[in-house]
Amino acid sequence: MSQLNPKSEELVRAGRAALRPTDADRERVFQALQPRLGGNLEPQGIEPLSTAPAKASLTIGKLTAALVGMSVAGAAVYVMLQSKLPPANPAANGAVTLEAIPQEAVDPTPGTAPSALPPGPPSNEKRAPAAPRSADSLAKEIAMLSQASADLHAGRPAAALTVLDEHQRKFPHGELVQERTSGRIQALCALGRMTEAQAELARLTRTSPNSPHLARARKACGSGATQKE
């Protein structure tokens, strides 16, 4: 294997030095990470989702489940978009294109392959009489839920909740109600608002008992939410 010449090595060394963190970076991130991990930096501190009681603090298990769930929701959004958006010439009407939203756009969690998503079974949820929906309104729904997903992913459940509330105001009978509800449950759990989360979960269970989002929303909140349904 050939090696680099001295001039190249010098450049590489400079690059490495520029990328290196400072002690302050290390300490700052550590301090920020502590509360996000519930103050417990040992992996044994993670409570198994199947036995974790519902509680106010955000455990890493909940956060992870939330991320996975929202990733799934995002991928589902993509799948829905594929099936619902009419073919359009974006250059002509400015409509969103399928290619514009990559399938993994909200799938940063390793091992969560959108292609492995089960197709959503028929929902029992009753929706308002469907007015003709434009691709534009669906695209706006997608953009909002993607934003909420990104906020959840970045550990900003309050911001995610704000976006989801806005979605509810703008699209009370939108195409992506299940995804919104699932995201809302996860955000509420992340904020420790378990009573509200359980109420939402119960509603989702009632309106969409076969929803693929249901199990993930339950997981995001731990088994406590499930048991109290």
Considering the complex, state which of residue 113 and residue 202 has its C-beta at the smaller distance from other proteins.
113
- Is the Cβ–Cβ distance between 184 and 200 less than 8 Å? yes
Q: Which of 70, 73, 78, 153 binds other proteins (CB under 8 A)?
A: 153
Q: Where are the alpha helices (DSSP H) in 57-112?
A: 60-84, 90-93
Q: How far apart are CA 219 and CA 186, in angstroms?
A: 9
Nearest to 197 by CA among 163, 229, 164: 229
Residue 10 is a binding residue for other proteins (CB under 8 A)? yes
Q: Which residue in the set 3, 86, 118, 126 belongs to the binding site for other proteins (CB under 8 A)?
A: 3
From the list 9-17, 120-128, 169-177, 201-209, the region that binds other proteins by CB under 8 A is 9-17
Taking Cα atoms as reference points, which of 57, 19, 54 lies closest to residue 40?
57
From the CB of 133, what's the least distance to other proteins, in Å? Answer: 13
Q: Is 121 left (phi over 0), alpha (psi -120 to 50) or beta?
A: beta
Provide DSSP, 182-210: HHHHHHHHHTT-HHHHHHHHHHHHHH-TT
Site for other proteins contains 158 (CB under 8 A):
no
Detail the DSSP E strand segments found in the chain. none
Binding mask 75-104 for other proteins (x = CB under 8 A): ---------------x---xxxx--xxx-x
| Residue 212 CB coordination number (10 Å) | 19
Q: According to the binding rule CB under 8 A, does residue 177 interact with other proteins?
A: no
Residue from 6, 20, 131, 169 that binds other proteins (CB under 8 A)? 20
Stretch that binds other proteins, among 121-129, 145-153, 182-190, 199-207 (CB under 8 A): 145-153
Q: Which of 210, 68, 40, 49 is nearest to 152 (CA)?
A: 68
Which of 73, 75, 76, 150 lies at the binding interface for other proteins (CB under 8 A)? 150
Question: Which region among 32-40, 120-128, 176-184, 193-201 touches other proteins (by CB under 8 A)?
Answer: 32-40
Regarding 155 and contact with other proteins (CB under 8 A), the answer is: yes
Identify residues 123-142 at the interface with other proteins (CB under 8 A): 136, 139-140, 142
Among 6, 39, 50, 206, binds other proteins (CB under 8 A): 50
Cβ atoms of 200 and 185 closer than 8 Å? yes
